């Protein structure tokens, strides 16, 4: 949240590219290294989701720490893994450079062996390394991805439970909503973090099922239940909505002091058309008939979203419905 508005900007050309700001170019070497790491991790995920149709893409270490997986000391393994919507797993390793991509690194990526041999006993469909780099100080950000063919002799077998994988993927949303009052926007449970200019959300039935599983008494079948719920939902072609049923919107145009001032004001509910725009596009009222078990977080009782919701309210009230 801090890195993007501070260090990245869009070009003004008709074909928009991502470039670094003057502040980013003035960083010292260690700071540039941290920025390159952040961009490498983020763009690796964006590439997986947009180019390879990967869902539930997450860091191997976060899954491992959540469920007690251990690796041998010094054992190399890829950074990320996830499922393709067409079936099979993808693993990825992310790199970042603050300048041009050296030819030696390209050679290393081409020669690099796969560090994860199997996931749940199956060979990953794709195992790629990606590197974010900049051809010049004011050049556009680029990403190079290479898929090695062979596995290293000591490649690991990653034991993944599909239900626990999905639970770990959505767990940060439970954490976020535990620290912020959630509201209902169409079919999404949302929370506004006005201080940071961010609105976060997830489809209500998905959140309800994940919350049920988080109590450790309804984990079995979680993955299939979530896929069933997502199959019933057709996300609109809007940059705030994603195929995993999540929502992420930002407004970093206002200075922080103005966001703080606006977040403290009482405001009316968002226009009704916005609530309708964030309803499921193919199920109508049937979408809200998902079974609620005793002890469930009942999203139907949440108040309608109101107040400052960064990135949600368009400049032109008709934009959401016209797209």
What are the contacts of 30-34 at 24+ separation with CB within 8 A? Answer: 32/98, 33/98
Token readout for 36 is: 């390159």
pTM value surpassing 0.85:
no
- 3-class secondary-structure state, position 265: coil
DSSP 280-308: -TTTGGGGGG----TT---GGGSPBPBS-
- Predicted confidence pLDDT, tens digits, the chain (323 residues): 777 888 888 887 677 888 988 998 899 999 989 999 999 999 999 999 989 999 999 888 888 777 766 666 655 667 888 999 988 899 888 888 888 888 888 877 776 667 778 888 888 888 888 999 998 888 889 999 988 777 776 677 778 889 999 999 999 999 888 888 899 998 899 998 888 888 999 999 999 999 989 887 788 899 999 999 988 887 766 667 888 999 998 888 766 666 566 555 555 567 777 887 888 765 555 666 777 777 777 888 888 888 778 888 654 444 444 44
How far, in Å, are 25, 26, 60, 284, 298 from residue 220 at the CA level? 49, 51, 21, 28, 20
In 3D, which of 253, 2, 12, 5 has the Cα closest to residue 140? Answer: 12
Separation CA 280–CA 287 (nearest Å):
7
For residues 272 and 269, give the distance between their C-alpha atoms in angstroms, rounded to a whole number: 8
What pLDDT, on the 0 to 100 scale, is given for residue 262? 58
Other Cβ atoms within 10 Å of 108 Cβ, number: 14
Residue 197 DSSP label: T
What pLDDT shows up at residue 160?
86
The span from the CA of 305 to the CA of 184, in Å, is 5
The Cα 233–Cα 235 span in angstroms is 6
Do 266 and 211 meet the contact criterion of CB atoms below 8 Å apart? no
* CB 129, CB 47: distance < 8 Å: no
Residue 133 pLDDT: 92
Alpha-carbon separation of residue 149 from 109, 111, 182, 197 (angstroms): 11, 9, 46, 43
Report whether 206 contacts 245 (CB < 8 A): yes
- What pLDDT sits at residue 246? 92
> Tokens 């998905």 label which residue?
206
């Amino acid at each position: 949240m801090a890195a993007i508005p501070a260090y990245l900007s869009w070009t003004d050309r008709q074909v928009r590219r991502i470039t670094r700001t003057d502040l980013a170019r003035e960083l010292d070497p260690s700071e540039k290294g941290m920025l390159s790491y952040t961009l490498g991790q983020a763009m690796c995920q964006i590439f997986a989701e947009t180019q390879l149709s990967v869902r539930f893409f997450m860091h191997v270490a976060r899954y491992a720490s959540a469920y007690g997986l251990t690796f041998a000391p010094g054992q190399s393994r890829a950074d990320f893994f996830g499922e393709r919507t067409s079936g099979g797993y993808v693993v990825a390793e992310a790199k970042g450079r603050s300048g041009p991509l050296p030819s030696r690194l390209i050679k290393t990526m081409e020669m690099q062996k796969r560090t994860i041999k199997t996931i749940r006993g199956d060979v990953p469909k794709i195992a790629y390394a990606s590197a974010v780099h900049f051809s010049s100080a004011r050049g556009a950000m680029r990403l190079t991805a290479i898929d090695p063919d062979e596995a290293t002799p000591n490649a690991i077998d990653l034991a993944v439970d599909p239900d626990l994988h999905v639970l770990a993927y959505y767990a940060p949303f439970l954490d976020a909503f535990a620290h912020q009052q959630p509201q209902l926007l169409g079919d999404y449970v949302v929370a506004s973090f006005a201080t940071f200019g961010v609105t976060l959300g997830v489809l209500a039935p998905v959140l309800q099922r994940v919350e049920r599983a988080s109590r450790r008494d309804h984990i079995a079948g979680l993955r299939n239940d979530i896929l069933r719920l997502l199959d019933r939902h057709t996300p609109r072609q809007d940059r705030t909505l994603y195929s995993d049923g999540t929502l992420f919107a930002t407004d970093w145009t206002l200075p922080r002091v103005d966001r703080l001032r606006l977040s403290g004001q009482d405001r009316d509910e968002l226009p009704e058309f916005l609530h309708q725009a964030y309803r499921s596009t193919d199920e109508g009222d049937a979408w809200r008939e998902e079974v609620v078990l005793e002890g469930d977080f009942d999203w139907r009782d949440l108040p309608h979203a109101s107040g400052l919701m960064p990135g949600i309210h368009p400049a032109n009230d008709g934009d959401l419905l016209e797209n």
